[in-house]
């Protein structure tokens, strides 16, 4: 096989013939040429949310023209003395920057990046405590310009900056990243933002990491975006129409994902080198929102504890993203054992951390191909709005009756797991602050469920996952068992200009998601922890199952 910038290899066993047949079909349909021609009929007869969502194919051309301006802006911010950059966003506007932050940053001499994408007061308060608002640049990032969480964050931090810098100067601490013509662009003009970066309109949120949404925060914090785009372009060239489909890294991965999903291997289990573990956050959204709909889906399993192969069902495809030079001994051993057990696997090799640019592009192209194979529209997100609408209804009901509505739901984990069977997966939806201790407790719970029931377990922190895997939960296959974990907010924060606080908003989002899952008859239980302390979560992690 031809060597790529980021090489790939696989052990597909009995599925190799299925992949070969699918590659032949791709070639016969001239699908790669049609994708590059932005032919919407690859996916649907109707061009809605397709022809205006394919700008990611050539986004590096557009962004290369912006490199010098972005670097000059970063120099301006550095000269101004900002110590932190806080990105206020959700979903597509936050997950890519978070991956770049964890993988490449922090870089000495540049402001420290903090990504805030949770309405929980227990997440917002530590951010508040760790920054000097007067010396912090806030990126208000939203494609639509109307994201409730993002605008709520803005109102809160705008108030803090005005207290320190005064109302007339506060706007200089804010930068908008949005599409042209949005209400956020107008807000930036009216309230004196330092700048507004208007993104190409033909790029959907989860495909936007190589646009302003990813590159503005990256440049500000010292990432060499020219190098990042060089790596993206290296794969882009290999995905061109001139490259045979069997040597095309984006087509090949998309065909493997799609063909194996049709054979029941629809649980794509991403295993990574330790330094690039956060890549799973981005892949989760890309796959779940793009492919999880119309009762179909590829279920991304990221960050799951590795267990003995005998605990894995026959619905797994393992993809190993390996970073050269990282501490790979443990994952190498685990993947060798998994490969020898007969499970199908793919290995993608990264030479260094800047190969993230190549992987972003590879996975975007692959996802578009997988959508064509599975006959799914990969660029819309029809079920995300359901939970948003239900949250609005919950908040309206609170305004009328003076309190949040009561919802009856199961509250026992064994009750939820009683119906577990092969082909199912468990989705842990944790409306908790993410800490190392929380991660450890939930990893313990995931491991116990996998080893006892032999089914995959995903983990999403709320409300972040509502803009990510939430689409798959509601629109994908009815194979999920949903565990919602909530807790009491012992400390709350007001949202200026709203009649509800962040704590109330977070509770409403959890209730809205629960009610939506119930309305479509998904299997769901809710466990409320009376204490925000670690003790009650540790008890849940040890509960008999």
pLDDT recorded at residue 543:
87
Three-class DSSP category at 196: strand
Same fold, 8-51+229-374 and 384-541: yes
Q: What pLDDT is stored for residue 3 in this prediction? A: 43
Decide: 428 and 483 in contact? Cβ < 8 Å: yes
Confidence (pLDDT) at 1 = 35
- CATH, domain range 58-225: 3.40.50.10490
Q: Which residue has the higher pLDDT, 386 or 413?
A: 413
Whether 30 has a pLDDT exceeding 70, the answer reads yes
What distances in angstroms separate CA 405 from CA 300, 397, 402, 408, 511, one per listed residue?
33, 7, 9, 10, 8
Which architecture, in CATH terms, is 384-541?
3-Layer(aba) Sandwich (3.40)
Q: Taking 70 as the threshold, does the pLDDT of residue 533 lie above it? A: no
Give bridge partners of residue 177 from the DSSP assignment: 141, 197
CA distance 115 to 138: 10
* Per-residue model confidence (pLDDT) at position 7: 72
Q: Check residue 397 and give its pLDDT.
A: 93
pLDDT at residue 530, as a whole number: 79
**pLDDT tens across 279-314, in order?**
999 999 999 999 999 999 999 999 999 999 999 999
Report the pLDDT value the prediction gives residue 147, as an integer from 0 to 100.
94
Cα–Cα distance between 105 and 113 in angstroms, integer? 8
The answer to whether residue 4 scores a pLDDT higher than 50 is: no
Of the pLDDT bands very low, low, confident and very high (cuts 50, 70, 90), residue 6 is low
What is the pLDDT averaged over residues 96-112? 94
Query: Domain spanning 8-51+229-374 has what CATH number?
Result: 3.40.50.10490
- The tens digit of pLDDT for each residue in 361-381 reads 999 999 999 999 999 999 999
Tell me what pLDDT residue 105 has: 80
Kindly give the pairing relationship between strand 425-430 and strand 84-88: unpaired
Give the span between the Cα atoms of 325 and 21, in whole angstroms. Answer: 36
User: What pLDDT digit, counting tens, does each position of 148-162 carry?
Assistant: 999 999 999 999 999
Ranges of each domain in the chain: 8-51+229-374, 58-225, 384-541
For 454-471, what is each residue's pLDDT tens digit? 999 999 999 999 999 999
């Amino acid at each position: 096989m031809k060597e790529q910038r980021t090489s790939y290899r696989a052990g597909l066993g009995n599925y190799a013939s299925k992949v070969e047949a699918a590659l032949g079909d791709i070639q016969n349909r001239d699908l790669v040429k049609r994708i590059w021609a932005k032919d919407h009929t690859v996916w649907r007869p109707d061009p809605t949310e397709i022809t205006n969502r394919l700008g990611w194919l050539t986004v590096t051309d557009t962004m290369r023209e912006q490199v010098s301006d972005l670097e000059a802006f970063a120099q301006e911010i550095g000269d101004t003395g900002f110590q932190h950059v806080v990105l206020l966003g959700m979903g597509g506007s936050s997950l890519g920057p978070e991956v770049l932050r964890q993988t490449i940053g922090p870089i000495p001499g540049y402001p420290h990046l903090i990504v805030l994408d949770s309405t929980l007061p227990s997440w917002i308060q530590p951010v508040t405590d760790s920054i000097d608002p007067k010396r912090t640049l806030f990126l208000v990032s939203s494609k639509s310009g109307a994201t409730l969480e993002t605008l709520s964050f803005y109102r809160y931090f705008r108030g803090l900056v005005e207290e320190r810098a005064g109302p007339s100067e506060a706007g200089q601490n804010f930068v908008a990243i949005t599409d042209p013509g949005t209400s956020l662009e107008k807000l930036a003009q009216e309230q004196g933002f330092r700048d507004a970066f208007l993104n190409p309109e033909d790029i959907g949120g989860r495909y936007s990491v190589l646009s302003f949404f990813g590159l503005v925060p990256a440049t500000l914090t010292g990432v060499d975006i020219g190098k990042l785009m060089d790596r993206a372009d290296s794969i882009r060239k290999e995905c061109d129409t001139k490259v045979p489909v069997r040597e095309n890294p984006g087509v090949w991965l998309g065909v493997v994902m799609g063909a194996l999903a049709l054979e029941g291997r629809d649980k794509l289990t991403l295993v990574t080198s330790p330094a690039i573990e956060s890549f799973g956050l981005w892949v989760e959204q890309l796959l779940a929102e793009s492919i999880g709909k119309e009762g179909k889906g590829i279920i991304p399993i990221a960050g799951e504890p590795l267990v003995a192969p005998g605990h894995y069902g026959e619905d797994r495809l393992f993809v190993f993203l390996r970073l050269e030079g990282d501490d790979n001994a443990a994952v190498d051993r685990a993947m060798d054992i998994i490969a020898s057990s007969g499970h199908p696997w793919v290995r993608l090799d990264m030479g260094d951390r800047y190969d993230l640019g190549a992987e972003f592009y590879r996975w975007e192209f692959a996802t578009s191909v997988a959508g064509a194979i599975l006959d799914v529209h990969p660029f819309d997100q029809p079920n995300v709005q359901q939970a948003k609408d239900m949250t609005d209804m919950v908040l309206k009901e609170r305004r009328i009756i003076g309190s949040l509505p009561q919802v009856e739901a199961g509250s026992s984990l064994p009750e939820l797991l009683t119906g577990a069977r092969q082909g199912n997966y468990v989705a842990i939806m944790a409306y908790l602050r993410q800490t190392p201790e929380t991660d450890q407790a939930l990893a313990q719970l995931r491991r116990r469920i996998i080893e006892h029931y032999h089914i995959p377990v995903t983990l999403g922190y709320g409300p972040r996952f509502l803009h990510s895997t939430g689409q798959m939960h509601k629109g994908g296959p009815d194979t999920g068992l949903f565990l919602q974990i909530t807790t009491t907010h012992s400390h709350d924060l007001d949202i200026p200009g709203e009649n509800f606080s962040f704590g109330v908003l977070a509770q409403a989002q959890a209730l809205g998601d629960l009610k939506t899952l119930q309305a479509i008859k998904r299997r769901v239980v809710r466990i409320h922890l009376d204490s925000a302390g670690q003790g009650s979560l540790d008890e849940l992690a040890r509960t008999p199952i």
